């Protein structure tokens, strides 16, 4: 019965499962592991930043273990659900998602200008979860095209990704339960290392994510060129693509500066994917339309459990904003004190 779907949809590759289900599952597993590593390290970073803040240390000590135990089973369910969804999404749609998010991320970072602190990069780290998974699967598909032992290579990549995801999960588990105690007692090597160099996690994580999207952009560009840019269809493809993405790049970052909530992030993702859906209805086939609909579900699964990360971003911004106000007020007071001396 499953083999009738390609004939019904008019495509010989209805999903990635149409070629090799094992390889598709391994690619989805690598993508889900990448998302898991990203979320775990983000939670470790914001937890350390909150604990190091003396004003909120007491609150964090009492609330973090309970919240960790509450979301542990949800994280496992989210992981396997994302593995299935990323296995189902084809490389064509994954490539378009990667290119769209890359263009929007570059536009957002450019619009941030020379601001010393802007929440847009941190929000992009939360929003890029499903796009990062699509980028990893797209890169694996591109690298293993025509490889004689692609299944073995994908198995090794999945094993390495699983090990990294397990390490990041155990680190987050240890930090959520024991960091407030170990950071004061100073007898745990992990917590002492995080206490001294934990503030560098975000910068390192951003560099790794940028590198992953750079590689995925190359793979996505090659995939889009091979599958879409036939000479007869090139003009018909690029005109709606340019119009839709230019509108998104201009409108979404401007609107996002005034809203920061899970609902706002979902609305942003749905607007992006809605434009992609219209594009696929114009130049794609029915399999691409189905894959875009699957990505709606994938974005929802990634963003809904990220409410705690969003709250941490906003709290970090408030702390930084209050400290900047205090510093500016101190500088203004010092300046006013120096004025009489300068006049004399």
Give the model's pLDDT for residue 179: 83
134 occurs within a structural domain: yes
pLDDT of residue 94: 92
Q: Dihedral through CA 105, CA 310, CA 278, CA 24, nearest 10?
A: 80
pLDDT of 249 over the 70 cut: no
Yes or no: say if 305 and 75 are a contact pair by the CB < 8 Å rule: yes
Query: Does residue 132 form part of some domain?
Result: yes
Across the chain, mean pLDDT equals 76
Residue 343 CA from chain centroid, whole number: 55
Q: 227-236: which pairs have CB atoms within 8 A and are 24 or more residues apart?
A: 227/92, 227/95, 228/92, 228/283, 233/283, 236/282, 236/283
Q: Which of 63, 88, 98, 121 is nearest to 287 (CA)?
A: 88
Rounded Cα distance between 111 and 118, Å, is 10
Does 314 map to a domain?
A: yes
- Per-residue pLDDT, averaged over 9-19, amounts to 45
pLDDT in tens, 21-66: 889 999 999 999 999 999 999 999 988 888 877 544 444 444 444 4
> Regarding predicted confidence, which is higher, 9 or 129?
129
Q: Quick one: pLDDT at residue 277? A: 82
What does the pLDDT read at residue 271?
78
The structure tokens listed for 40 are 């775990």
Does residue 118 fall inside a structural domain?
yes
Number of domains composing the chain? 1
Measured in residues, the chain has a length of 344
Q: Is residue 217 part of a domain?
A: yes
pLDDT of residue 224: 82
CA torsion through residues 52, 307, 38, 215, sign: negative
Q: Is residue 339 part of a domain?
A: no
**Average pLDDT for residues 294-311, to the nearest whole number?**
87
Distance CA 115, CA 102 (A): 21
pLDDT at residue number 164: 96
Query: Is residue 239 domain-resident?
Result: yes
Is the pLDDT at 328 greater than 90, yes or no?
A: no
Which of the listed ranges 79-93, 109-123, 177-191 does the model predict with the highest average pLDDT? 79-93
Q: How far apart are CA 247 and CA 219, in angstroms?
A: 25
DSSP 102: H
What burial letters (b/e) apply to 197-220, b meaning 16+ CB within 10 Å? ebeebbeebeeebeebbebbbebb
Predicted pLDDT at 250: 60
Using only C-alpha atoms, the chain has a radius of gyration, in whole angstroms, of 23
**Is residue 286 a part of any domain in this protein?**
yes
**In terms of residue numbers, what domain contains 190?**
4-324
What are φ and ψ of residue 3, in 5° steps?
Answer: -75, -10
């Amino acid at each position: 019965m499953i083999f009738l779907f390609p004939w019904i949809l008019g495509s010989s590759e209805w999903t990635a499962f149409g070629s090799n289900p094992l390889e598709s599952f391994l690619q989805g597993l690598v993508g889900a592991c990448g998302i898991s590593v990203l979320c775990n390290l983000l939670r470790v970073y914001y937890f350390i930043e909150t604990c190091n803040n003396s004003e909120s240390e007491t609150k964090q000590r009492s609330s973090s273990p309970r919240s960790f135990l509450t979301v542990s089973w949800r994280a496992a369910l989210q992981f396997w659900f994302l593995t299935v969804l990323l296995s189902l999404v084809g490389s064509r749609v994954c490539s378009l998602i990667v290119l769209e998010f890359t263009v929007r991320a570059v536009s957002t970072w450019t619009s941030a200008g020379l601001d010393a602190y802007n929440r847009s990069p941190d929000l992009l780290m939360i929003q890029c979860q499903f796009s990062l998974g699509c980028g990893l699967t797209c890169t694996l598909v591109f690298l293993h095209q025509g490889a004689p032992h692609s299944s073995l290579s994908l198995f090794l990549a999945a094993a390495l990704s699983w090990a990294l995801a397990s390490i990041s999960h155990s680190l987050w588990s240890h930090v959520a339960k024991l960091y407030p105690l170990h950071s004061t007692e100073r007898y745990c090597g992990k917590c002492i290392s995080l206490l001294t160099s934990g503030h560098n996690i975000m910068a390192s994580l951003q560099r790794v994510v940028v590198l992953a999207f750079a590689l995925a952009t190359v793979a996505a560009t090659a995939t889009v060129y091979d599958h879409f840019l036939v000479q007869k269809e090139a003009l018909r493809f690029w005109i709606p693509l340019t119009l839709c993405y230019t509108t998104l790049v201009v409108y979404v970052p401007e609107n996002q500066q005034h809203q920061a909530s899970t609902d706002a992030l979902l609305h942003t993702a749905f607007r992006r994917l809605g434009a992609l859906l219209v594009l696929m209805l114009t130049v794609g086939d029915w399999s691409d339309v189905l894959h875009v609909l699957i990505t709606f579900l994938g974005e929802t699964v990634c963003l809904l459990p990220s409410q705690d990360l969003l709250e941490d971003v906003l709290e970090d911004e408030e702390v930084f904003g209050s400290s900047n106000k205090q510093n500016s007020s101190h500088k203004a007071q010092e300046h006013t004190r120096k004025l009489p001396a300068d006049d004399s």
